[in-house]
Amino acid sequence: MRGIVTIDGPSASGKSSVARRVALALGVPYLSSGLLYRAAALLALRAGVDPGDEKGLLALLETFRVRLLPKPEGNRVVAEGASGQEDLTPHLHTPEVDRVVSLVARHPGVRAWVNARLKEVPPPFVAEGRDMGTAVFPEAPHKFYLTASPEVRARRRTLERPQDYGEVLRELIRRDELDRAQSAPAPEAIVIDTSGMALEEVVARVLSHLQD
């Protein structure tokens, strides 16, 4: 596989898990754009920067020289601080980050910064996010969009984190509204509703299209 595969979709639709498995099957790296947005949100929370302050966010990203490392075992996000390099990855999936990451991702400057980091990686690879097939890699020959009902996605998220189902469902619906403009599928993308599918089935469906 010499090209780019994009896998987009709303929060908790299974993008990261599917992208990781598909990339492994193809023998290529996968890129998680969401981790870079989450890194920006985490740094803003730590520094007390308003998620609505685009200039402040961009200053943080440049100061800490945030980078995405697409390693075979999974993506890592690192930052350069006063005490050296820090791996931010273990701190990126928390309810606090969940609540502000969509606000951070709305800024054109932050999106441009994330896109530039992703484009530094030479293909082939599998890229997952919300607008990989539309804004970041429109030239990609293979585009997929994963979706599922909010209820299914909320149940999946509660298996990953110790949160109340009702709270998670409300947060997902709120994020869907905030991400609506960024998260539309590319016209040529293959849309897969994963609501009633196991992870292995989704991966097999994607790979079957790639082999056609």
Name the packing angle between helices 54-63 and 108-119 (round to 10°): 30
My answer on whether 104 and 142 are in the same domain is no
My answer on whether 45 and 110 are in the same domain is yes
My answer on whether 116 and 142 are in the same domain is no
pLDDT at residue 81 in the model: 78
How many Cβ atoms from other residues are within 10 Å of residue 84's Cβ?
7
Mean pLDDT of 178-188: 82
My answer on whether 98 and 202 are in the same domain is no
pLDDT at 71 over 90: no
pLDDT at residue 160 in the model: 81
pLDDT at residue 183 in the model: 76
My answer on whether 60 and 142 are in the same domain is no
My answer on whether 98 and 45 are in the same domain is yes
How many whole angstroms separate alpha carbon 116 and alpha carbon 110? 10
My answer on whether 211 and 132 are in the same domain is yes
Using CA atoms, how far residue 25 sits from 28, 30, 126, in Å, is 8, 11, 11
Q: Please give the residue range of the domain that contains residue 130.
A: 1-29+124-212
My answer on whether 110 and 148 are in the same domain is no
pLDDT at residue 12 in the model: 86
Q: Check whether the bond before 90 is cis (ω within 30° of 0).
A: no
My answer on whether 2 and 106 are in the same domain is no
Where would I find the H helices in the chain? Answer: 15-26, 33-47, 54-63, 95-105, 108-119, 150-160, 165-179, 199-211
Task: Report the domain count for the chain.
Answer: 2
Q: Which residues, other chains included, contact 200 with Cβ-Cβ below 8 Å and sequence gap of 6+?
A: none
Domain of 151, CATH number, reads 3.40.50.300
State the pTM of this model. Answer: 0.85
What strands lie across the sheet with 125-129, from one edge to the other? 30-32, 125-129, 4-8, 142-147, 190-193
How many whole angstroms separate alpha carbon 138 and alpha carbon 28? 19
DSSP tally for the chain: helices H, then strands E: 8, 8
My answer on whether 6 and 79 are in the same domain is no
For residue range 85-106, list pLDDT tens digits in order.
999 999 999 989 999 998 999 9
pLDDT at 2 over 80: no
